[in-house]
Amino acid sequence: MEQTKRKFHASMINDYRAFVFLGIVLIFGIFANNFYTLYNFTSIFSGSSLYTFIGLAFTLCMIAGHMDLSVGYMATMGAMMVLGMRTLEGLPWGVAFLVAAGVGALFGLANGILVAKAKIHSFIVTLGMQFVIKGLLNIYSNGAEISVKGDFEVTDILNSSPIPFLPFSVLFLFTLAAVIILMVVLAKTRFGRNVYMLGGNLETAWLAGIKSDRNTILIFMISGILCGLGGALYGVSAGTATPTLGEKGIAPLMVGLTATIIGGTDIAGGKGSVLNTFVSIVAILAMFGVITTLVGKFEVQILFIGIVLAFCVLYETFTKYAKQKTLGIRPDLVQKYMQESGKTKL
């Protein structure tokens, strides 16, 4: 019995590894000067906004068993669209945001149709869509950046903190709202359950009466809307957007993907949590902050984000390998363990 209890704890750590990661980073924050200040946390939370939206979109697709590589460019497009509509076309902010989300939905629809109807692998579709979006964006703006042109009203609102003594900017509150809405949708609605079922086993889901094509298209559209809105919010809060936003540095796509994996989402689909992805993103950004203050070198940042990701992959791989080994040699042990721990899945 004790054996089981210990194992239960080990798996718990794995289930909540995003929180554990955040905890480790926060402990090391003690060594960094000025880490525990209101200002610093406001900046970390605001900075996580763009990555969170991209991470949410990516996690959603991954739970459904797909990969959406075009999230980075869709977010860029959202940022370019909102500023283009506002600055170049002179439309009101509300309409500009709607256009950004709408264009995101449109490209999501295109992705979804190609994946669901033309049956091309999502990895390939979104890879090709990246080039298409990149080309369109550059043609639209002629490669130049688009800015708010000194109209900082909304920018200032997004960056202000409405609640005293709490490090939450308006931008972050929007982000938080998106996280919570998506959490509720995934956990409480029929669509949410469908997403998990589609990712778990597409064929079973179809046999169970789920309209898989329609749901897949919807998932890609939501992913597009999330990216469009996230990019738009980021673009306005920064006051500018360039067509290269999604490809520089550790690209937002890579941060989103890493956070999704660290958050424990299964790459094969059917398992994952939006909240864990969000926590991982905050942890990654906090880690960037700590490393910048302590070392100040970008090299170390990329090294550490790589090590954390590699560690998660290795852990998952090796436990799976060990289990398969046990399964091969002594299947009875595994069944006993499953009975005792009350788990249905390894």
Partner 1 sequence: MTTKEQQATAPGIKQDSRRTDISKTSLFINRAGAYFIVAILLVIGLIIAQGRFVSIDNIRSILNAVSLTGMACAGLAFVVYSANFNDMSLPMTMALSGMMAVQLIPFGIVVSVVGGIAAGTLVGVVNGILIGKFRANPIIWTLAFNMVLSGIVRVAWGGSQIYPDTVAGDSEFAQQAAVQFNSFARTYFFDGALPLMVVVMIVLFVFAYFMMTRTRFGNKLKMVGSNYEAARLSGVNCAKTVILAYVLCSLCAAIAGIFYTSMTKIGAYSNGEGYDFDCLTAVLLGGMTLAGGKGNIVGVFGGVLVVGMLKNIMTLIGISTFSQYLVTGVVFLIVVWINTSSERKLGRA
Partner 2 sequence: MKKVLTIVALVLVLMFAVVACTSTGTEEPAAEETAAAEEPAAEETAAAEEPAADTPAEEDATNTEGGAIDIAAVIASEKTTDNQQLMPDPIEKAFPDRPEDPSSLPEDDAGRYYDMEYVGWDAGEKDAGIPASPGDGPQGKKVISIVHGDHAWTTAYEKGMKQACEAFGMEVEVWSPNWDQALQDQLIDQAINAQPDAIALIPLSAENAVQQFRKITQAGIAAFGTNMLTTSDAMPYMAAWTGPDDWAQMRQLADTLGEAMGGEGGIAYITHDPGGSPYYARTYGPITEFAEKYPDIKTLDIQSPGFEAAEVKQVVSDWITRFGDDLNAIFLADDSAQATGAVDAVKEAGRDDIMIVAAGNSKTGQDLVKAGDLLIINYQSAEGDAGLCARTMAEWFAGEEVLPVGYLATDMITSDNVEGFYPTQW
Residue ranges in contact with partner 1 by CB under 8 A:
67, 114, 118-121, 123-125, 127-136, 138-139, 142-143, 250, 254, 257, 261, 267, 297-307, 309-310, 313-314, 316-318, 320-321
Amino acid symbol at 77: M
For residue 26, the partner it binds in partner 1, partner 2, none, with Cβ less than 5 to 8 A by kind, is none
Neighbours of 32 (CB within 10 A): 16
- CA–CA distance, 31 with 17 (Å, rounded to integer): 22
CB of 190 to partner 2, least distance (A): 35
Which one, 40 or 201, has the nearer CB to partner 2?
40
248 makes contact with partner 2 (CB under 8 A): yes
152 makes contact with partner 2 (CB under 8 A): yes
For residue 115, the partner it binds in partner 2, partner 1, none, with Cβ less than 5 to 8 A by kind, is none
CB of 28 to partner 1, least distance (A): 17
Which one, 190 or 325, has the nearer CB to partner 1?
325
CB of 324 to partner 1, least distance (A): 8
For residue 150, the partner it binds in partner 1, partner 2, none, with Cβ less than 5 to 8 A by kind, is partner 2
Q: 2-15 vs 331-341: helix axis angle to the nearest 10?
A: 80
For residue 269, the partner it binds in partner 2, partner 1, none, with Cβ less than 5 to 8 A by kind, is none
- CA–CA distance, 76 with 83 (Å, rounded to integer): 11
For residue 127, the partner it binds in partner 2, partner 1, none, with Cβ less than 5 to 8 A by kind, is partner 1
201 makes contact with partner 2 (CB under 8 A): no
In the 8-state DSSP scheme, what is residue 77? H
**Which tokens hold the place of 163?**
């609640």
Geometric angle at alpha carbon 49, from 44 and 52, rounded to 5°: 110
For residue 256, the partner it binds in partner 2, partner 1, none, with Cβ less than 5 to 8 A by kind, is none
Q: How many residues does the chain have?
A: 346
10 makes contact with partner 2 (CB under 8 A): yes
Cα 28 versus chain centre, distance: 24
Identify which of 68, 120, 92 has the alpha carbon closest to the alpha carbon of residue 246: 68
Q: Residue holding tokens 């669509």?
A: 191
Residue 298 backbone phi and psi in degrees, to 5: -70, -35
- CA–CA distance, 334 with 322 (Å, rounded to integer): 11
Considering only residues 269-308, where is the footprint of partner 2 by CB under 8 A?
285, 288-289, 291-302, 304, 307
- CA–CA distance, 110 with 98 (Å, rounded to integer): 18
Identify which of 145, 148, 167, 171 has the alpha carbon closest to the alpha carbon of residue 158: 171
Binding span for partner 2 by CB under 8 A among 178-186, 189-197, 222-230, 231-239: 231-239
Considering only residues 30-59, where is the footprint of partner 2 by CB under 8 A?
31, 33-34, 37, 39-40, 42-44, 46-47, 50-51
Which one, 54 or 261, has the nearer CB to partner 1?
261
CB of 243 to partner 1, least distance (A): 9
For residue 43, the partner it binds in partner 1, partner 2, none, with Cβ less than 5 to 8 A by kind, is partner 2
CB of 255 to partner 1, least distance (A): 11
CB of 191 to partner 2, least distance (A): 31
Q: Under the rule (CB under 8 A), what is the footprint of partner 2?
A: 10, 24, 28, 31, 33-34, 37, 39-40, 42-44, 46-47, 50-51, 138, 141-147, 150, 152, 155, 234, 238-240, 242-245, 248-250, 252, 285, 288-289, 291-302, 304, 307, 311, 314-315, 318-319, 321-322
